[in-house]
Structures are given as C-alpha cells and as structure tokens.
Amino acid sequence: MTREPAAPVDRGPGCGPACGPAFRRPRDHRLCRRDSAIYDTTAPYRPERAVLVGHTRGRGGFRIESSLAELDRLADTAGAVVVERLVQKRGTAHPATFLSKGKVEELKALCAAREADLAAFDDDLTPAQVRNLEKALGVRVIDRSELILSIFARRARTREARLQVELAQLEYMLPRLRHMWQHLSRTGGGIGTRGPGETQLEVDRRRARERVARLKAALEEVDRERETQRKSRRREFRAAIVGYTNAGKSTLFNALTRASVHVEDRLFATLDATTRRLAGVEGKPARSRSALVTDTVGFIRKLPHHLVASFRSTLSEVIEADLLLLVADAADPDVERQLADVERVLDDLGAVGKPRAILFNKIDRLPDPLEALGFRARYPGCLLISAATGEGLGPLRERLLAEAGAKRSEAA
C-alpha cells in the first residue's frame, strides 16, 4: 500500500526559506532548529574533513605517494581539510568495496578517530562500491572524478563553462542515481494503467536525460558561435598553451600578451579558453606578423572522460592551433610523468601530429641549475623559461613571431 507523505506544517510568517516543511517558527529568529547546535545559522563555517584513500594495485611506492599528494591538492582546492591518508599496498581491488575487508575496518576506525566527514578515493569507484563503502564506513564516499567535477563546478564562471560542467556532472551521475523515495511512485489514471507506475528514480533519470539533451543543444549553439570566431582567425598564426594544471600556463599567457587572466597557485584556476594577440617587445601588439596566443584549461592524471567530452568545444582551440606550447613544471619531481599524461590527452583530442614546442617553466625554482642541462639532453629543442621572472621569454617570442611571419608569407 502506498504511503501518503505527511502534510507540511505551517511555518508561519518570518521563518526563513532554509526551514523545511517540518519545522515550526522558532522563538529565536536566528535559529531554524530542532537542535540549535546543528541549525544555528550564526555558527562559524566548518570545512569538511577528509581521509585520502589509495591502492597501489601493483604500482611503485613513489607513484602512489605522488598521486596521493596530487589528490591532497585537489581536496584542498575543493575546500576540504585532509586529516589522514590510508594506502592498501597488497592485493587487487575488491569488486564490492575496492579495499579488502581488513582495510575497510581500518578506514572506518580512522574516520571515527579523526572525525572525518568523507573518504576521498584516488581511483574511480563503481556505484555499487560507493554504496557498500558508505554503508560500512558511515561517512560520505567520493572518488577522484567526482572531486575533480566538484572543483570545476566551483570554478566555472562563464555560461559556456557552466553548461559544460553541468553536462559532465549529469552524465557522471546518471548511472549513480539511487533508488530513493520509493513510496512516491505514481499510478496511472486510466484503463489498463493500474500498476506501480513511475518511481521517483525513473522520474529523476528521465529528467536528467532531458536536461542532458537540452545542454547538448545549447553547447552546439555555443560551438557554432566559436566556429564563427575561429573562421576569422584562420588566416593568422595561432599558438595554444597547453599542459598540466598549475604548470604556470596563465602566468605565461599574461607575460606573452600583457593580459590580466586570473592567476592562482591552485589546481584548475582557469577553465575558459582566452585568446589575445602576442605583444611586442615594448608591450605593443606585433601586428606585422600577427601571432595569436590562446590559454586553455589544464590537464591532470585520470581526467574524467565525461569532462573531456563536455569541454570538447573549448578544447577545439587546441586542435585548430598551428603550434602547441606544451608547458611543464620543471621544479616538479614528477614532471616527465605529467608530460606523458598531457601527451595522452592531446592524442585523445585528435591532436596527433600537431607541431609542439616543449617549455620547461619555473626554472628559477630548480634547486640545482645543472638540472636544466638534463632537460636539454632528454628533450632536444625544448625551451627553458620562467614566466614569473621573464627568463627565456625573448627566444620564445621571437620563435612565435618568426613562424607567424612564415605563415603570412605562405598565405601571400
């Protein structure tokens, strides 16, 4: 028998919108409470406390530590406070809980001891694994993809970025919708329609699919607008700055174009593609040879494929560019692995064979200047630069202007 939902209680005038239908107006207007300690709107904000979880799965110790350090930065960018880490070093991923039974118990005790609100896993989890882990741990469980998507949602500013992020989130969440509110199933009202009707889960899935279709249509319109912009630029030489997130791409873009793109020492500070004309030596546009530079979104290891697909219109600037400026953080001990990850994403986007110039940025932070010689030996033709200090930008600017002049001569 279908259970009827309880009738909402009259909240009375003056109660804020944060009060749910089951709350009556409190005597103290600052509180919306059944428990004043929980619902006190004047209480200071407490960031979520997270425990990071990793699994070696045959990888070396350095790789898992490097990956967890990156996950730590992702959690910090999302606004969480990392209180502990846990790594399973043996065995394979369990199909039901990802971790072994003993590690699940250890993680549960660790979350309770550290008063953690969530457990963030460094790998992607299946919907069943998330459900089983949340039931066993008693805290919220998220995987790496969900964490990255939440950061993109916080960083999205323009209409295009918001559409792309929402599309990626919906496509990620569709297979993870849970069967909630089963008592709200609908029953048909005509002959032959008597039955369980449409459950709330089915309603949510249908509405999500409808929203996905609308978002894709809106992004197709945005892509048509971008295509119009690209047509007007195809006669000019275009260079796209790509690379790992937080490698200094936006700082380099500002140094080359005298722009004022937002720069922050956090992951994914830039989500939108921005194009400006290359500035001359004295800060004036070098229009005689017409070089355009585009700043793009950064890449990262295990970038969610939904996100790459949703940002394809923005990343099309990479495919259309005449030259890719592949920026790498020279001071990062894992720089070679980061370069390999960026190359893999570029190949997935269809930029195979596109001319590339490798730029090792932040050479002013190298502990030993002789390390720069190692980069030159392993990557012949690379450029060593510091976007913050301007070191090495002169040869880079001259190369861009020379290639722009060559393209102009060919067109003539």
- Contact between residue 140 and residue 134 where contact means Cβ atoms under 8 Å apart: yes
- pLDDT tens digits, 13-71: 444 433 433 333 333 333 333 343 434 444 456 789 999 999 987 666 668 888 899 99
H or E segment and range at residue 54: strand 49-55
Assign residue 296 the CATH number of its domain. Answer: 3.40.50.300
Residue 178 counted as domain residue: no
pTM recorded for the entire structure: 0.75
What three-state secondary structure class fits 49? strand
Residue 23 counted as domain residue: no
- pLDDT tens digits, 255-271: 999 988 888 777 787 77
Virtual torsion, Cα 247, 251, 256, 258, nearest 10 deg: 170
Question: What pLDDT is stored for residue 31 in this prediction?
Answer: 33
CA distance 63 to 60: 5
Virtual torsion, Cα 165, 167, 169, 175, nearest 10 deg: -170
Residue ranges making up the domain that contains 123: 49-142
Assign residue 97 the CATH number of its domain. Answer: 3.40.50.11060
Of 266, 294, 297, 255, whose CA–CA distance to 158 is shortest?
297
Residue 165 counted as domain residue: no
How would you write the pLDDT of the chain (412 residues) with one tens digit per residue? 444 444 444 444 444 433 433 333 333 333 333 343 434 444 456 789 999 999 987 666 668 888 899 999 999 989 899 999 999 988 889 999 999 999 999 999 999 999 999 999 999 999 999 999 999 999 999 999 999 989 888 888 788 888 888 998 898 888 877 644 444 444 444 444 444 555 777 788 888 899 999 999 998 888 888 878 777 777 789 999 999 988 999 999 999 999 888 887 777 877 778 889 997 655 455 555 578 999 988 888 888 777 777 777 667 788 889 999 999 999 998 899 999 999 988 888 888 888 999 999 999 999 887 888 889 999 999 999 999 999 999 999 999 998 888 887 777 6
Residue that is last in its domain, among 142, 175, 199: 142
Number of domains observed in the structure of the chain: 2
Residue 67 counted as domain residue: yes
Residue 53 counted as domain residue: yes
Residue that is last in its domain, among 142, 160, 184: 142
Residue 114 counted as domain residue: yes
Question: What pLDDT is stored for residue 304 in this prediction?
Answer: 78
What three-state secondary structure class fits 118? strand
Residue 185 counted as domain residue: no
Question: What pLDDT is stored for residue 289 in this prediction?
Answer: 56
